Amino acid sequence: MTSSPQPLPPLRILRLVASPNGGASESLKLSQQILFTLAIKAGRRGIELTDFDLSTLAAVDALYAQTLANQSVVVAREPGDTLGRSDELIEQLLRCDALLIATPMHNYSVPVPLKAWIDHVVRVGKTFLTTARGKVGTLADRPVYVAVASGGYISGQNARQPDFLRPYLSAVLATIGLNDVHYFTVEGTAKGVESLTAGREAGYAEVQAFFGSELKMAM
């Protein structure tokens, strides 16, 4: 008798939610479209979703800063310090197969909650090493999908404002070894109902176009 094949483990997805708008967040809604297509792509394997509301994350503290600045010095740890929280967040990131980030653009770049997460996980000696060639990430690469909502326009002929979010996020994720980054946007959310509707349609179409080609290749 031949044994039946062992079921594949689920696709583990870590979703970071950076918007303060809860269920009304346009970036969260866009991330739901991405999540839906990832579930289809996973097929019978299924998905295992971990949601993390970044508004609950405190900024790094003095102990964290001192430890990173003095790698050769052993600093006394304190219960509940952000160095321990950093360890937890890095482990959480290591366990996922794909990272999904739902974020608004604030003042041309990432909002405070997402920046706090970045400061916790982009950590010398832990997620990247300093070498003669510069910083080298230690994480195994995995897909990163970023759902961005912006009040103005940041793409195409209608773009009238700088976009530091996507270049910055790509650079900082590459620092820790994550280079397979894909962006999807809902733009013009502060320009009225018609603009918001058009922005949603365009953003959702981006998702369908990207994952549609991936799903065809997987079949």
Residue 112 belongs to domain with CATH number: 3.40.50.360
Classified as helix, coil or strand, 20 is coil
Q: CB of 93 within 8 A of CB of 99?
A: yes
pTM, two decimals, is 0.92
Residue 210: inside a domain, yes or no? yes
Show the CA angle centred on residue 51, arms to residues 135 and 20, nearest 5°.
90
Examine the pLDDT at 168 and tell me if it is beyond 90. yes
169 inside domain: yes
Q: What is the pLDDT of residue 72?
A: 60
In a domain, 4, yes or no: no
- Helix pair 62-69, 82-95: axis angle to 10 deg: 70
Rounded average pLDDT over 8-19: 96
Predicted local confidence at residue 217, as pLDDT? 44
- Please list, residue by residue across 7-41, b when 16 or more beta carbons sit within 10 angstroms of its beta carbon and e when fewer do: eeeebebbbbbbbeeeeebbbbbbbbbbbebbbee
Q: Give domain status of residue 2, yes or no.
A: no
With 70 as the cut, is the pLDDT of residue 79 above it? no
Its domain, for residue 95, covers 11-218
**What pLDDT is stored for residue 6 in this prediction?**
72
Q: What is the mean pLDDT of the chain?
A: 91
Alpha-carbon distance 69 to 80, whole Å?
20
Give the chain's domain count.
1
Q: How many CB atoms lie within 10 A of CB 100?
A: 23
Q: Looking at the domain assignment, is residue 155 inside a domain?
A: yes
Residue 1: inside a domain, yes or no?
A: no
Q: Which of 82, 76, 70 is nearest to 120 (CA)?
A: 82
H helices of the chain, where?
A: 26-42, 62-69, 82-95, 112-121, 165-175, 193-218
The tens digit of pLDDT for each residue in 95-137 reads: 999 999 999 999 999 999 999 999 999 999 999 999 999 999 9
Specify the residue for token string 């160095």.
Answer: 83
Q: Is residue 5 part of a domain?
A: no
